[in-house]
Every structure is written in structure tokens, then in C-alpha cells.
Structure 1
């Protein structure tokens, strides 16, 4: 019940902010819309600024839940990418008001906590692109993956903006299929010796420029662990071996979620993966990111 009321306040604030702007939307206007007292409002949020942060956390969590549900489905990489590309278009159709608030506030907010939430969301989407593109097209695209990320994200954002500002109701599945076809074209161009604009050596710099801070090591390790879990499913191993290795990866993912992962525990469990030669590069990268010595 408490969570329902909190959600009602957030959705009211999104709706009113889309109409008037967040800074022109008063707490009194929100409580009047919800039919509650100011005291009840402050029971859920310590301040209007805290509500501002909660609005974005609420939306990004919804987006993340949708992406994770697709991630966990037993789908081929290309279909998984297509379905995940659909998510923001489906969300826009459901929550047009939020996108209006997001576009108004993303470049002008002085709320540091909100700025951090937005930055993390940008980092997460770039990490997602990097992982999903590699799964879909293979390691061959690494030399030009930065260009693919830039071009795909640019096209996707252009269609989202067109839907929003011109009030168009585009078919999410059709747009996602179109974007995938354009990715195929870009990959084909590079395979035909098109020179990349941004080389692999500049990838970290690209992400830094695009998100205003580089993807943090824990996010990169999380992406690598997810890559390993995906590859493990198709490896010619016994069910017993797979079960044991899945347990190792699950442990590492759980440890990574802690504010301060236990490096010795991480180091020890990472050693259990060395029996799989295909995981050597992953282990080395993870060890480098977390400043560990491989056992």
C-alpha cells in the first residue's frame, strides 16, 4: 500500500511536470492532485529534490527491468537485441510525459544526485550496446564497434525525438527491425574495408566523451560476467560442469553488487574458471579492472 502511494505521487509529479516543468510544479499542486496532505508527501519524500531524483530512478528501473526480462529469455542474440531495442519505443508510447520531463531536465538540472543517476543510466546503455553488439556480430566488430554504437544510438534517439515532438505513434517492432538492418549495413561497410572513424584504441575516450565520465570498472566487469554466462550455455560441457561454472559466475555477480567486493573471495572464485580456455581473456580483463593478481 505504501509503495502504491509513493508510485502515485511520482506519476502525478511526472504528469504535472510534463505540463508545467518540474520547477513550476509545486508540492502543493502534487498533493492536491493526489488527494493527500503535505505531511503525507514528506512521509514518502524528504524534499521536492528527492522526488525529482525518484522520478528518474523510477523510470530507469522500469527500463532496466524490461531489459533484464529479455536478457533472461532463451533467445538468439539478434532477436534479443531486437526486443531490447523495442523497449524505449514501447516505454515512450506508455510514458510520453516522462520523456518530456527527461528532455527538459537532462541538461539543466543542478541537482548533483540527479546528475549522477542520469550519468549512470548513460553508462549502462553504452555498456549494454557494447555487450549486445559483440554477442550479435562476434569479436570481428571490435575494431569499429565505437562507430556502430555512435551511429545506432544517434538513429535511435532521432526516432524517439520524432515520435515525441511530432506526436507520431511508430511501431516499436518495425523501428527495431529497421535499426538492426542498418547495423547490418554498417558492419558490411566495414567488412568491405571502410575505415572506422573511431578506432578501438579510442573506445574508452569515446565513452568518456559521450557520458562525461568513463564506464566504471564494476560496470565493465558485470558486462564481462554476463558475456561469460551467455557463452557458457553453448559450450560442449557436461551439465555438472555447467552447473558448477554457473554457480561461480553467480557468486562473482553477487559479490560485485556489494559496495566493496571482497577481492580475495573474487580472486579465489575467478581461479575456478581457468579450466575453460575460452575464458582466459575474460579472467585477465576482470583481474586488470579490479586490480587483482590471477591465481
Structure 2
């Protein structure tokens, strides 16, 4: 993502949160970025497209945060708790849509935006099911949809209390409380063995979502950023010997990142070298969360 495009997104996030979607115009955003409106339209075709880009960026940020937790290679139970706590940290910081204070609700009567929001909600629901499946395995297979609905409901309800009730609840303690309640739920389901309410037939629309595709997009972003750095190196204002060194560093980073078990310490060292050059730092900084 270019520096200007990122600047436009951040300006739109702030103005949508302060003034609301309807009251914010493309001209307002362009003025805030000190650019012509036509320059903004080169990156985003409409205010609707800009809003959707913000929503998608939010979801990608969440995916990146979860991926960083998984790469920590913690014990299964600790990973479970960290991922639940991550949901509260993320929503308290960002809100459900754009404004952390929830002043900015999604535009009404807009089919394109509502379709995006609906897809994101389904994706998050599938992600919660993935959390539970990794923790409880076959113990919840029969009731996986019902258990997911309950976890989703708990996270949503407690998030609202944190956001709007301003309740000083520790996120780690809350994650532990919810995890223990899900333990109780799973144990109860196993003891009673009643039939599920939400069946595969009823949840067909959700089952069709490719959750792995969300994480695959992350790999594509990493490869695109490395390729961008590689294409910039020949034109930066450094001696030719340094350009050769940077090209070799970039090639090593690409090769290491493609390994089944990349050495993170080496990736970080290579990235820091790229980050030291001002013309490359913007793209190198975007790579840090992706390794």
C-alpha cells in the first residue's frame, strides 16, 4: 500500500468516527490529506469503496494479530486464552466497525457494504469455530455450530460492556472466565448428548466459507511487499555496492520466508537491514507483522 493510500485510509477512519459516514464527504477527506479530490479518486472510486477498504483492512489486521499469536507456539490452552483475549483487545481499540466509541454505524440501505459486513461476520463466526475445534476436537463436533454461536454471543456481549459500560475488566481474566464457561458447556453437552439445534444443513452458507483463504491472503501480501522492495532497490540513492547488498538481503528474505519453518530471528535481522534505508522503510515496516 502506498504512503498516500494509507494516509487517505487513516484520514477517512478519523473523519468517519468524528463526523459519521453520511456527514463526511470525499472533499473533506481530500482536504484533510491536502490533496486534490481527483488524486483521491485515483486510489478509491467512491466513498463506499473507501469505507469497504477500511472494513477489509480491519479484518486483515485481526488476521495478522491472530497469526502472530499462533507463531508464538504456546501450549494449546495458552493459545486458546490468548486468542480470546485478542478479540477483546482488538474490539476495544477499534470498535466493531470504524469508531471505537461506536458512533459510526455502517451506512444503511447499501447492499454492497451490507454484503461485505455479512461476509465478515460469517468469516469471524467460522474463526470462532476454528478456535473451539482446536481446543476441544471431536468433543464438540456434533454441536460445533451451537458451541460457536454461544462463544460468539459471549464475546459480543462482553465486548459491548467493555465498550459502552466502560467496565474495568482485565482482558486476560475475561478470556479465562469465558474459556472456563466454554469448558462447562462442552462438558454439559457430552453428558446430556442432546441433538444440536444448528445443523450442517441449516449452516450451509457458513460452511461454504474458506477460512484458510483469509490466511492465504496474508502470504500474498508478504510476497507482494518483498517484490515491491526488490523493484525499488535499483532506484534508491545509495552506492551500487549497497544496492547489491540490499538485493541480496531481499533475496535471502524471500528464500527464508518460503521455508516450511522459517527462522524468524533471521527474517527480523534481514528486515532491520532493509528498514535502515529510508526509501525502503515504509514497506519493510509493513512486513514485520507478516513474519
Q: SS of the residue aligned with 1:164?
A: helix
Describe the shift of the 1:78–1:31 C-alpha distance in structure 2 as closer, same or farther (beyond 3 A). same
1:215 corresponding residue in structure 2 = 207
Residue deviations 1:84-115, cap 9 Å, x none? Answer: 11222212333245355697117x35141x33
- In 1, distance between residues paired with 2:118 and 2:3? 27
1:49 corresponding residue in structure 2 = 48
Q: SS of the residue aligned with 2:74?
A: coil
- In 2, distance between residues paired with 1:3 and 1:216? 33
Kept in 2: contact 1:204–1:214 (CA 8 A) = no
Kept in 2: contact 1:14–1:98 (CA 8 A) = yes
- In 2, distance between residues paired with 1:142 and 1:39? 53
Describe the shift of the 1:216–1:103 C-alpha distance in structure 2 as closer, same or farther (beyond 3 A). farther
Kept in 2: contact 1:10–1:55 (CA 8 A) = yes
Any stretches of 5+ residues in structure 1 without a counterpart?
226-245, 248-295
- In 2, distance between residues paired with 1:149 and 1:111? 27
- In 2, distance between residues paired with 1:222 and 1:51? 23
1:232 corresponding residue in structure 2 = none
- In 1, distance between residues paired with 2:128 and 2:58? 19
2:175 corresponding residue in structure 1 = 176
Describe the shift of the 1:221–1:155 C-alpha distance in structure 2 as closer, same or farther (beyond 3 A). closer
1:88 corresponding residue in structure 2 = 87
- In 2, distance between residues paired with 1:84 and 1:146? 19
CA RMSD of aligned residues (A): 2.9
TM-score, normalised with respect to structure 1: 0.64
Alignment of 1:190-229 (within 5 A): 190-193=189-192, 195-198=194-197, 202-205=199-202, 207-208=203-204, 213-216=205-208, 219=210
Is 1:124 the counterpart of 2:123 in the alignment? Answer: yes
2:105 corresponding residue in structure 1 = 104
TM-score, normalised with respect to structure 2: 0.64
Residue deviations 1:31-86, cap 9 Å, x none? Answer: 22233321222222121111111110111110111112223331222222221112
Any stretches of 5+ residues in structure 2 without a counterpart?
217-258, 261-291
- In 2, distance between residues paired with 1:103 and 1:126? 22
Residue deviations 1:157-177, cap 9 Å, x none? Answer: 011112222234542222211
Describe the shift of the 1:36–1:27 C-alpha distance in structure 2 as closer, same or farther (beyond 3 A). same
1:135 corresponding residue in structure 2 = 134
Kept in 2: contact 1:141–1:187 (CA 8 A) = yes
